[in-house]
Structure 1
Amino acid sequence: MNTTDEHNEEPTVEKWVCQIMAAEGVIGVLGNLLVCYVILRVKFLHNMTNYLLVNLAVADMLVSLQVFLYYSTSDCPLIALAPVSHGVRDLYCRLLASRFLAWALSYASAYNLCVVTLERYIAIVHPLHYSRKLTTARMVTLVALMWVISFLISLPLLFTVEPSNDPNRICSVTIPHPLFSILLSICAFFVAYLFPLTLMSLAYYKMQVTLKRQATVLKLHHARAAACNLVIARQNLVSMLKTVLGALIVLWTMDYFAVLLCVQTTDKAQFSFCGSKVFRYIRIFANLLFNFNSVINPIIYEFKYKKFRQGLKVAFCSCSKRQGGNRDDIEMAPL
Structure 2
Amino acid sequence: MFESVNLSRSDDLNLSGVELTHRSIKVSIIITLGVIITLGNIAVLLVITSSVAGWSRSSRYFLLSLTAADSAFGLLVMPLNLSVSLLKDYSEGPDLLCHIVAFCNATIYSTCMYTLATISLERYIAVFYPLQYSSLMTRKRTLLLIAFSWCFPPCLLAPITFPDGIIEVHFSNASLVCNPSYSTNVGYSISLTCFIFFPCSGIMTFANLRVWCAAKRQRLKLRKYYCERRSRHNVASRVLVPVMAAYYTCWTPCMAAMIYNAVSGQTVSEWIEFVIVWLPACNGFLNCIFYFWINRSFRRKFHLVLQRLTVSLCPKLAETLGCCNMSKSQFVTVLDNNNTVHGRSSSVSSTCTLISVV
Asked if Structure 1 and Structure 2 have the same fold, meaning a TM-score greater than 0.5 normalized by the shorter chain, the answer is: yes
Q: Structure 2 vs 1, CA of residues 19 and 184 (structure 1 numbering), >3 Å: closer, same or farther?
A: farther
Aligned partners of 1:125, 1:53: CA distance in 2, in Å?
A: 20
Kept after mapping to 2: 8 A contact 1:64/1:295: no
How far has the Cα of 1:59 moved from its partner?
A: 0.7
* Aligned counterparts, 1:58-137, within 5 A: 58-76=68-86, 90=96, 92-96=97-101, 99-137=102-140
Q: Does 1:258 align with 2:272?
A: no
Q: Does 1:188 align with 2:188?
A: no
- Matching residue of 1:228: none
CA offsets per residue over residues 222-250 of structure 1, 9 Å max, x none?
6xx9xxxxxx99x7378435423321210
Which letter does structure 1 place at the counterpart of 2:162? F
* Aligned counterparts, 1:174-185, within 5 A: 179-180=184-185, 182-185=186-189
Cα RMSD over matched residues?
3.5
Which letter does structure 2 place at the counterpart of 1:156? P
Q: Does 1:22 align with 2:31?
A: yes
Kept after mapping to 2: 8 A contact 1:161/1:173: no
Aligned partners of 2:43, 2:164: CA distance in 1, in Å?
A: 34
- Match for 2:282 among 270, 292, 297? 292
Q: Structure 2 vs 1, CA of residues 303 and 33 (structure 1 numbering), >3 Å: closer, same or farther?
A: closer
How far has the Cα of 1:326 moved from its partner?
A: 4.0
- How many residues in Structure 1 have an aligned counterpart in Structure 2? 290
Kept after mapping to 2: 8 A contact 1:23/1:68: no
TM-score between both structures, scaled by the size of structure 1: 0.73
How far has the Cα of 1:215 moved from its partner?
A: 4.2
TM-score between both structures, scaled by the size of structure 2: 0.69
Aligned partners of 2:335, 2:251: CA distance in 1, in Å?
A: 36
- Matching residue of 2:302: 312
Q: Structure 2 vs 1, CA of residues 332 and 241 (structure 1 numbering), >3 Å: closer, same or farther?
A: same
Q: Structure 2 vs 1, CA of residues 127 and 66 (structure 1 numbering), >3 Å: closer, same or farther?
A: same
How far has the Cα of 1:204 moved from its partner?
A: 0.9
Kept after mapping to 2: 8 A contact 1:185/1:260: yes
Aligned partners of 1:294, 1:151: CA distance in 2, in Å?
A: 20
Structure 1 portions without partners, runs of 5+? 1-5, 81-88, 163-171, 226-231, 264-268
The structure with higher relative contact order (CA 8 Å, sep 6+) is: 2
Q: Structure 2 vs 1, CA of residues 95 and 179 (structure 1 numbering), >3 Å: closer, same or farther?
A: closer
Percent identical residues: 22
- Matching residue of 2:209: 205
Kept after mapping to 1: 8 A contact 2:58/2:138: no
* Aligned counterparts, 1:168-179, within 5 A: 179=184
Aligned partners of 2:188, 2:42: CA distance in 1, in Å?
A: 31
Aligned partners of 2:57, 2:236: CA distance in 1, in Å?
A: 14
Q: Structure 2 vs 1, CA of residues 314 and 173 (structure 1 numbering), >3 Å: closer, same or farther?
A: closer
CA offsets per residue over residues 86-139 of structure 1, 9 Å max, x none?
xxx85x33421xx10111111111111111111110110122221111111111
Kept after mapping to 2: 8 A contact 1:94/1:158: yes
Aligned partners of 2:66, 2:179: CA distance in 1, in Å?
A: 32
